[in-house]
Homo-oligomer: A and B are copies of this chain.
Amino acid sequence: MPDVKLLEFFPSPSQQPFVIEHVNEEFTSVCPKTGHPDFGTITVRFQPGATCVELKSLKLYFQSFRNEGIFYEAVTNRIRDDLAAAMKPIWLQVITDWKGRGGIRSRITATSGDVPADWRR
């Protein structure tokens, strides 16, 4: 069951603005409609406020979705909401890319806060 308490944080090492991106290509949850597993890649990008998410705790948090029945859109919004509430980033973007089902592959993007100027390129 997704468990936000698995997440740990450490103080940001700089007051200068910077951006962190973590990409997990090994995410799996379960389709609540069919009971079949879903497989996806989760990308988390953020400009930290006071804290950054610790990498191993992020892995365990992602693993806690393994046997959860949950739709693509809900996974994406839940991760965005959990991380935004716990980490209070200046900007946060969660992108989920899902392998094809019935010949259709999907990508969901959820954001909190404004995209930093130097990320836009």
How far is A106 from B121 in the complex, measured between Cα atoms in Å?
19
* Identical copies of this chain, number: 10
CB atoms of B59 and A25 under 8 A apart: no
- Interface positions of A from 64 to 121, Cβ below 8 Å from B: 66-67, 71, 73-74, 76-77, 80-81, 93, 99-112, 114-115, 117-121
Q: Determine whether the beta carbon of B103 is less than 8 Å from that of A118.
A: no
Chain A contact residues (Cβ within 8 angstroms of B): what range?
A: 35 or more
| Cα-based distance from A22 to B115 in the complex (angstroms) | 23
> Is A110 in contact with B55, judged by CB distance below 8 angstroms?
no
Task: Among B23, B80, B119, point to the contact of A105 (Cβ < 8 A).
Answer: B23
CB within 8 Å of B: which residues of A? 12-14, 16-26, 28, 36-37, 39, 52, 55-56, 58-59, 63, 66-67, 71, 73-74, 76-77, 80-81, 93, 99-112, 114-115, 117-121
Q: What are 24 A-B interface contacts by the 8 Å CB criterion?
A: A13-B74, A16-B80, A18-B111, A19-B108, A19-B110, A21-B107, A21-B109, A25-B99, A25-B100, A25-B103, A26-B103, A36-B63, A37-B66, A39-B103, A55-B101, A55-B106, A56-B102, A58-B104, A67-B67, A100-B100, A109-B118, A109-B119, A114-B118, A115-B121
